[in-house]
Amino acid sequence: MQLPFHKYQGTGNDFIIFDDRRETFPVSRGLIARLCHRRFGIGADGLMLLQNHPDYDFRMVYFNADGNPSSMCGNGGRCLVKFARSLDVFETETVFLAVDGPHEARVGDGLVHLKMADVDQIQRKSAYDFLNTGSPHYVTFVDNVQATDVVGQGRTIRYSETFRPGGGTNVNFVERMKDSTLFVRTYERGVEDETYSCGTGVTACALAASYRELESPVRIKTIGGDLQVSFRKEGAQKFTDIYLIGPASKVFEGEITL
């Protein structure tokens, strides 16, 4: 069975995408993990299917690199929006369905503006903040993020007794730069490694930074490039009109035998 695929990246967070509007992709954990493998497959942080939906422009189906179905992926959502635009599924604005509900998005000026789910609860601890921006995120502020052992510390926190019973968590290390930009590095569950960028992660970091005198929009630097997060803060813990803003581009396309 031969299927065409497309490879996209959003600030270095890369994804394999299949146009699955006919729902012919043979979903299996082993196959998806093999396709995402960087030595024996195409190589990616995750795999997405673009499917039809009767009530929305399209449906986003996302899998982590380990082959398991995943919670929301912000950079993946931006890449899938760009892919859907290339198929003329919409012109400039769209509404699609993801695992955490509907999302609005628009494409313009070389950027994808993706509206994220509202956040109405943040657990604020002395050493970290914990919140769900479509995926669960641990956010801790550090003095030197470049010197941080992201994989070692991230894996320890991800599998700790605090978070393991709930399926684990993504772990973000954040440094506030002199120009108030946030430099974010993220250990992602499902990838089980540091990624070049994490959309739901930088969103979580921007919201956490609002308690540290940063106002919307928050500029964010990742290993893979620059992003922005805008939001409206209502009261002590509620955030609405959250937008993840950044570039997304096609890397290459091909055909693979499954």
CA-to-CA distance for 92 and 158, rounded, in angstroms? 38
The structural domain count of the chain equals: 2
Residues 101, 138: one domain?
A: no
State the Cα torsion 225-226-232-233 to the nearest 10°: 80
Task: Write the pLDDT tens digit of every residue in 137-168.
Answer: 999 999 999 999 999 999 999 999 999 999 99
Residue at 111 is within a domain:
no
Residues 176, 195: one domain?
A: yes
- The pLDDT score that the predictor gives to residue 56 is 98
Residue at 12 is within a domain:
yes
Residues 49, 135: one domain?
A: no
Residues 100, 138: one domain?
A: no
Contact 155, 148 (CB under 8 A): no
Residues 91, 131: one domain?
A: no
- The pLDDT score that the predictor gives to residue 172 is 98
Residues 27, 63: one domain?
A: yes
Contact 57, 96 (CB under 8 A): yes
Residues 221, 169: one domain?
A: yes
Residues 150, 238: one domain?
A: yes
Q: What are phi and psi of 216, to 5 degrees?
A: -70, 140
CA-to-CA distance for 111 and 100, rounded, in angstroms? 22
Task: Write the pLDDT tens digit of every residue in 232-246.
Answer: 999 888 999 999 999
**Residues sharing a CB contact under 8 Å with residue 193, sequence separation 6 or more, in sequence order:** 151, 187
Q: Tell me the three state secondary structure of residue 136.
A: strand
Q: Tell me the three state secondary structure of residue 40.
A: coil
CA-to-CA distance for 169 and 190, rounded, in angstroms? 10
What stretches of 42-169 adopt beta strand conformation (E)? 46-53, 56-64, 93-98, 101-108, 111-115, 122-124, 129-132, 136-141
Residue at 112 is within a domain:
no
Task: Write the pLDDT tens digit of every residue in 23-40.
Answer: 999 999 999 999 999 999
Mean pLDDT of 1-8: 95
Residue at 70 is within a domain:
yes
**Residues sharing a CB contact under 8 Å with residue 145, sequence separation 6 or more, in sequence order:** 173, 174, 175, 183, 184, 185
* Catalytic residue from among 36, 79, 198, 205: 198
Burial class (CB in 10 A: 0-12, 13-18, 19+), 144: exposed
**Boundaries of domain holding 8:** 2-106+249-257
Residue at 113 is within a domain:
no
Residue at 173 is within a domain:
yes
Contact 80, 103 (CB under 8 A): no
Task: Write the pLDDT tens digit of every residue in 45-83.
Answer: 999 999 999 999 999 999 999 999 999 999 999 999 999
Residue at 115 is within a domain:
no
- The pLDDT score that the predictor gives to residue 235 is 86
* Catalytic residue from among 36, 73, 79, 205: 73
Residues 222, 129: one domain?
A: yes
- The pLDDT score that the predictor gives to residue 160 is 97
Task: Write the pLDDT tens digit of every residue in 167-215.
Answer: 999 999 999 999 999 999 999 999 999 999 999 999 999 999 999 999 9
Residues 140, 91: one domain?
A: no
Q: Tell me the three state secondary structure of residue 203.
A: helix
Mean pLDDT of 209-230: 97
The two beta strands, 182-188 and 218-222, are parallel
Question: The domain spanning residue 237 has which CATH number?
Answer: 3.10.310.10
- The pLDDT score that the predictor gives to residue 209 is 97
User: Tokens 């955030």 identify what position?
Assistant: 239
Mean pLDDT of 90-101: 97
Residues 200, 223: one domain?
A: yes
Active-site annotation holds for 73: yes
Indicate the DSSP class of residue 99: T
Residue at 116 is within a domain:
no
Active-site annotation holds for 198: yes
Residues 164, 242: one domain?
A: yes
